[in-house]
């Protein structure tokens, strides 16, 4: 009997998860950078599906092995999966200017636009082509949500707008990619051409609005060359984003909300670092966190593992939370760095040789440790069963900077605490907004 009860309970959980994939209430979720989705409610879809249907059938007649691969490719992951991975690779190329804003906006605008799309979807509940006509084949697993507007096209519209704005040399390429993505949804029988057109334009409209909203948020003024005239501080010929701590935050009240106290004299830290015996394991850990997108890849992995890639609003929310956390966490960390100008180990003791080259900014507190701690807190709120694993990864990321010889242990410990506070603030704000939207 116990086994039977367990199986029934398990089936009920699975059924609940399957039903939740439509997220019928996602259109009421609170947005981040637009006050409401009400102004973005689309007009009704075409009443006569005949022309749309003819275009779907024509697209399906053209499906060959190449088009089938494109259909499969663009269905991988959540609607923004490929665009988010593209941004992961390019945003640091413009980190001195607009990279942080671009990363934030791609993820947040996709979420906000997805919420707006779900508001329209469940206002009209248009059937998908494979449901409306038995002439249409479904080349992919069948989504349960309504067809209009197309959620993949929403993500494409956001990506074209954000990437084209901040990385204009890629504008033509992302436009072609977006067209291919939208055509794949029509050919797969998942959406009508009018669905893809409406979704793309909705994504564009919200992304453009959020570009305008966030103008001037990130303080990327060039360094004036001034360093506090005190002994024992970090020195350099170039300081990376020294005013970023003044930037406007999203979830925090301001960048210095959780500013830690000043660093100690690093004599004990230096002695510990010089006594550290490097091993293959410690060097491997140092190199992993220095060269890999550990936290971005981990979120993708968990979204797939929990099947959230089948749930566009939930996946978009996770990506947006992580982006807000990374953005605010960076600002909070950089506020502290340039409040104290904490010295790096190889400057404190010029005989010390780090494993890796130190980056061009003060050491206290550690940026890697802070951001890892922020994301550990956010991921734990999204996937609470994995909390212990996320916290362990945050500790390993912090330790990697000590193992690389570019941070004192104090830099890392303070950063872990700072990141935890920032992460909790992002989660609390998200939950408060969720409660308000439920009301």
CA 294 to chain centre: 13
pLDDT of residue 3: 52
Are 177 and 265 in the same domain? no
Location of structure tokens 């409660």: 435
Question: Residues of the chain whose pLDDT is less than 50?
Answer: 1, 4-20, 435-436, 438-439
Report the chain's mean pLDDT, rounded to a whole number.
94
Q: How far is CA 360 from CA 242, 337, 352, 408, in A?
A: 10, 12, 17, 16
Are 338 and 408 in the same domain? yes
H or E element, residue 147: none
Are 398 and 291 in the same domain? yes
Establish if 357 belongs to a structural domain: yes
CA pseudo-torsion sign 246, 250, 254, 256: negative
Closest-CA residue to 115 (of 325, 316, 324): 316
Are 205 and 66 in the same domain? yes
Establish if 234 belongs to a structural domain: no
φ and ψ at residue 34, rounded to 5 degrees: -120, 140
pLDDT of residue 47: 87
Are 191 and 259 in the same domain? no
Cα separation, 321 vs 73, whole angstroms: 25
Tokens of 429: 């704000």
Establish if 9 belongs to a structural domain: no
The runs of H, that is alpha helices, within 167-279 are 171-187, 193-213, 267-275
pLDDT of residue 13: 43
Are 200 and 262 in the same domain? no
Cα separation, 424 vs 421, whole angstroms: 5
Q: What pTM does this model have?
A: 0.93
Q: How far is CA 80 from CA 10, 109, 114, 160, 326, in A?
A: 30, 11, 10, 12, 18
Are 172 and 302 in the same domain? no
Domain boundary residue, one of 213, 230, 255: 213
Establish if 405 belongs to a structural domain: yes
pLDDT tens digit sequence for 250-306? 999 999 999 999 999 999 999 999 999 999 999 999 999 999 999 999 999 999 999
Domain boundary residue, one of 213, 236, 253: 213
Cα separation, 248 vs 361, whole angstroms: 21
Are 62 and 131 in the same domain? yes
| CATH code of the domain containing 73 | 1.10.606.20
Are 132 and 208 in the same domain? yes
Tokens of 331: 């600002």
pLDDT of residue 7: 46
Q: How many separate domains does the chain show?
A: 2
pLDDT of residue 434: 59
Which domain covers residue 190, as residue numbers?
21-213
CA 23 to chain centre: 20
pLDDT of residue 97: 93
Establish if 220 belongs to a structural domain: no
Q: What share of the chain is helix, strand, coil (3-state, %, to 5)?
A: 65, 0, 35
Establish if 140 belongs to a structural domain: yes
Cα separation, 176 vs 105, whole angstroms: 21
């Amino acid at each position: 009997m116990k086994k039977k009860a367990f199986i029934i309970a398990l089936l009920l959980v699975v059924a609940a998860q399957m039903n939740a994939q439509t997220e019928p209430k996602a259109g009421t979720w609170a947005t981040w950078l637009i006050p409401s989705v009400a102004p973005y409610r689309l007009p009704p879809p075409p009443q006569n599906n005949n022309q749309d249907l003819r275009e779907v059938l024509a697209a399906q007649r053209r499906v060959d092995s190449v088009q089938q691969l494109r259909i499969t490719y663009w269905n991988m992951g959540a609607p923004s999966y490929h665009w988010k991975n593209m941004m992961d690779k390019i945003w640091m190329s413009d980190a001195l200017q607009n990279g942080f804003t671009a990363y934030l906006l791609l993820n947040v605008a996709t979420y906000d636009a997805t919420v707006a799309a779900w508001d329209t979807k469940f206002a009209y509940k248009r059937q998908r082509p494979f449901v409306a006509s038995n002439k249409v084949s479904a080349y992919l697993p069948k989504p349960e949500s309504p067809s209009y507007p197309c959620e993949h096209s929403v993500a494409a519209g956001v990506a074209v707008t954000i990437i084209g704005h901040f990385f204009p040399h890629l504008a033509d390429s992302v436009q072609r990619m977006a067209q291919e993505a939208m055509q794949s949804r029509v050919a797969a029988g998942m959406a009508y051409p009018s669905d893809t057109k409406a979704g793309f334009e909705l994504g564009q409209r919200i992304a453009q609005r959020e570009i305008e909203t966030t103008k001037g948020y990130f303080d990327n003024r060039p360094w004036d060359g001034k360093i506090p005239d005190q002994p024992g501080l970090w020195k350099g010929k170039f300081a990376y984003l020294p005013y970023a701590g003044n930037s406007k935050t999203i979830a925090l009240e301001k960048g210095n909300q959780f500013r830690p106290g000043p660093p100690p004299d690093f004599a004990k830290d230096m002695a510990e670092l010089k006594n550290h015996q490097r091993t293959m394991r410690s060097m491997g850990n140092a190199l992993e966190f220095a060269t890999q997108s550990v936290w971005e890849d981990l979120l993708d992995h968990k979204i797939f593992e929990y099947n959230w890639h089948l749930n566009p609003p939930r996946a978009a929310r996770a990506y947006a939370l992580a982006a807000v956390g990374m953005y605010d966490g960076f600002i909070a960390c950089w506020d502290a760095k340039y409040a104290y100008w904490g010295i790096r180990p190889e400057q404190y003791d010029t005989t010390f040789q780090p494993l890796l080259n130190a980056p061009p900014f003060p050491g206290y507190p550690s940026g890697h440790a802070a951001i890892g701690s922020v994301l550990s807190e956010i991921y734990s709120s999204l996937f609470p069963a994995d909390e212990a694993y996320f916290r362990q990864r945050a500790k390993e990321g912090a330790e990697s900077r000590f193992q690389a010889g570019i941070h004192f242990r104090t830099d890392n410990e303070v950063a872990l605490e700072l990141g935890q506070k920032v992460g909790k603030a992002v989660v609390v704000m998200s939950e408060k907004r969720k409660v308000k939207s439920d009301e």
